[in-house]
Structure 1
Amino acid sequence: MPPTSGTTSPPLDAPLPRKTRAFIVLVALLQGGLLYLAALGQQHGVWPFTELGARICWYTLVMTIPGIALLSAQDLRNWRLWQHVAASTLVFTALGSWAAWTATGAPALNLPPVLWSFGFTVAVGWFVALPWLQHRQLRGHWRAGYRDLFEHAWQNALTLALALLFVCVCWMVLGLWASLFALVKIQVFRDLFREQAFIYLATGVITGLGVLIGRTQHRAVQVMRQILFSLCTGLLPLLAGIALLFLLVLPFTGLQALWQTRSAAAILMSWVFGLVLFTNAVYQDGSVPPPYPRWLRRLVEAGLLSLPLHAALAGYAVILRIAQHGWTGQRFCAALLAMLALAYAMAYAFAVLRQRADRWLPHLANGNVVLSWVVIALAVLVNSPLLDPYRITVNSQIHRVANAASDAADQNLAFLRFDNGRRGYQAVQSLRENPAFTGSTARKLKLEQLLARTSRWSSTEPVEDHQDRQLTDLTQIRQHVTVAAGQAAPPEDWWQYLVRSQMLAGSCTQGNSNCVVSSNDLDGDGQLDVLLCSLNGEYAVACELQTRNRDGWYQAGTAQLYSLDGAAMSEVSQALRNGQIQTRPNRWPDLALPGDRRIHIRPSEEGLRPETRP
Structure 2
Amino acid sequence: MTSTTKISVYPYVIVGLLAGALLSILIPPDSFGILPYFPKNQTHLRLFFYFWTGFYALMFLLAYTHKRSLIQLMLTTLLPSFLASLPLYWQIHYTTSQFFLFIFFVQALNAFHIHYQTQQFKWHYPTLFLAVWHTFVKLYIALIFTLLCGIVFALCGELFKIIGITFITLLLSKNWFIIYFTTIFMSIGLFITDQSNTLVAQNRSVLLLICKYLFIPLSVIGILFIITSVFVTIQHHALPNSQAVFLSIAFFSALFLNAIYQDGTIENPYPRFLTGVYRIFIILTPVFSVLAIHALYFYGYNNIKTNGFNLSNASYLLNTLLLLTYNTSYAVIALLRRKNWLKSIESINIVLAIVMIMVTLIGAVPDVTKHFHSTHPVTVKIIKNNKR
The alignment status of 1:284 with 2:288, answered yes or no, reads: no
AA aligned to 2:223 is L
Match of 2:13 in 1: 25
TM-score by length of 1: 0.55
Question: Deviation at 1:249?
Answer: 1.7
Instruction: Indicate which of 315, 319, 322 corresponds to 2:304.
Output: 322
Match of 2:106 in 1: 126
Return closer, same or farther for 1:93/1:281 CA change in 2, 3 Å cut-off: closer
Match of 2:209 in 1: 230
Match of 1:53 in 2: 43
> Which secondary structure state, in structure 1, belongs to the residue aligned with residue 342 of structure 2?
coil
The alignment status of 1:269 with 2:231, answered yes or no, reads: no
AA aligned to 1:364 is I
Instruction: Indicate which of 410, 415, 420 corresponds to 2:379.
Output: 415
AA aligned to 2:358 is A
Q: Write the distance in 2 (CA, Å) between the matches of 1:149 and 1:12.
A: 17
Q: Write the distance in 1 (CA, Å) between the matches of 2:62 and 2:379.
A: 40
TM-score by length of 2: 0.84
Q: Write the distance in 2 (CA, Å) between the matches of 1:150 and 1:306.
A: 25
Match of 1:219 in 2: 198
Match of 2:289 in 1: 311
Q: Write the distance in 1 (CA, Å) between the matches of 2:82 and 2:27.
A: 23
The alignment status of 1:351 with 2:343, answered yes or no, reads: no
> Which secondary structure state, in structure 2, belongs to the residue aligned with residue 253 of structure 1?
coil
Note the 1:104-143 alignment, pairs <5 A.
111=93, 113=95, 120-141=100-121, 143=122
Instruction: Indicate which of 51, 60, 77 corresponds to 2:69.
Output: 77
Return closer, same or farther for 1:80/1:119 CA change in 2, 3 Å cut-off: farther
1:240–1:303 Cα contact (<8 Å) kept:
yes
Over the aligned positions, Cα root-mean-square deviation in angstroms equals 3.2
Return closer, same or farther for 1:193/1:41 CA change in 2, 3 Å cut-off: closer
Note the 1:353-368 alignment, pairs <5 A.
353-357=335-339, 359=340, 361-368=342-349
2:101–2:319 Cα contact (<8 Å) kept:
no
1:19-74 Cα deviation digits (max 9, x unpaired): xx42222222333323322346558xxxxx98852253243223322211121124
Note the 1:164-203 alignment, pairs <5 A.
164-180=143-159, 189-203=168-182
Return closer, same or farther for 1:165/1:97 CA change in 2, 3 Å cut-off: closer
Return closer, same or farther for 1:289/1:227 CA change in 2, 3 Å cut-off: same
Note the 1:392-541 alignment, pairs <5 A.
397=375, 415-416=379-380, 449-450=386-387
1:331-366 Cα deviation digits (max 9, x unpaired): 111111111121111122122222533x36222222
Match of 2:313 in 1: 331
1:354–1:363 Cα contact (<8 Å) kept:
no
Q: Write the distance in 2 (CA, Å) between the matches of 1:273 and 1:94.
A: 25
Return closer, same or farther for 1:189/1:56 CA change in 2, 3 Å cut-off: closer
1:265–1:318 Cα contact (<8 Å) kept:
yes
For structure 2, list consecutive stretches of 5 or more residues without a partner in the other structure: 32-36
Match of 2:58 in 1: 67
Instruction: Indicate which of 353, 363, 380 corresponds to 1:372.
Output: 353
Return closer, same or farther for 1:364/1:97 CA change in 2, 3 Å cut-off: closer
1:24–1:69 Cα contact (<8 Å) kept:
no
Query: Is the strand fraction higher in 1 or 2?
Result: 1
1:332–1:389 Cα contact (<8 Å) kept:
no
Return closer, same or farther for 1:84/1:95 CA change in 2, 3 Å cut-off: farther
Q: Write the distance in 2 (CA, Å) between the matches of 1:287 and 1:90.
A: 34
1:557-599 Cα deviation digits (max 9, x unpaired): xxxxxxxxxxxxxxxxxxxxxxxxxxxxxxxxxxxxxxxxxxx
Match of 2:227 in 1: 248
Q: Write the distance in 2 (CA, Å) between the matches of 1:35 and 1:64.
A: 11
Question: Deviation at 1:121?
Answer: 4.2
Return closer, same or farther for 1:12/1:379 CA change in 2, 3 Å cut-off: farther
Match of 2:364 in 1: 383
Query: Is the helix fraction higher in 1 or 2?
Result: 2
Q: Write the distance in 1 (CA, Å) between the matches of 2:2 and 2:180.
A: 30
Match of 1:547 in 2: none
Return closer, same or farther for 1:13/1:151 CA change in 2, 3 Å cut-off: farther
Q: Write the distance in 1 (CA, Å) between the matches of 2:304 and 2:102.
A: 25
AA aligned to 1:339 is L
Return closer, same or farther for 1:118/1:284 CA change in 2, 3 Å cut-off: closer
Return closer, same or farther for 1:17/1:166 CA change in 2, 3 Å cut-off: closer
Question: Deviation at 1:284?
Answer: 0.7
Return closer, same or farther for 1:76/1:22 CA change in 2, 3 Å cut-off: farther
Match of 1:257 in 2: 236
Q: Write the distance in 2 (CA, Å) between the matches of 1:37 and 1:76.
A: 32
> Which secondary structure state, in structure 2, belongs to the residue aligned with residue 362 of structure 1?
helix
Structure 1 or 2, whichever has the larger Rg, is 1
Question: Deviation at 1:89?
Answer: 5.4
Higher relative contact order (CA 8 A, sep 6+): 2
Instruction: Indicate which of 258, 264, 271 corresponds to 1:293.
Output: 271
Note the 1:8-47 alignment, pairs <5 A.
15=5, 17-18=7-8, 21-39=9-27, 41-42=29-30
Q: Write the distance in 2 (CA, Å) between the matches of 1:257 and 1:215.
A: 53
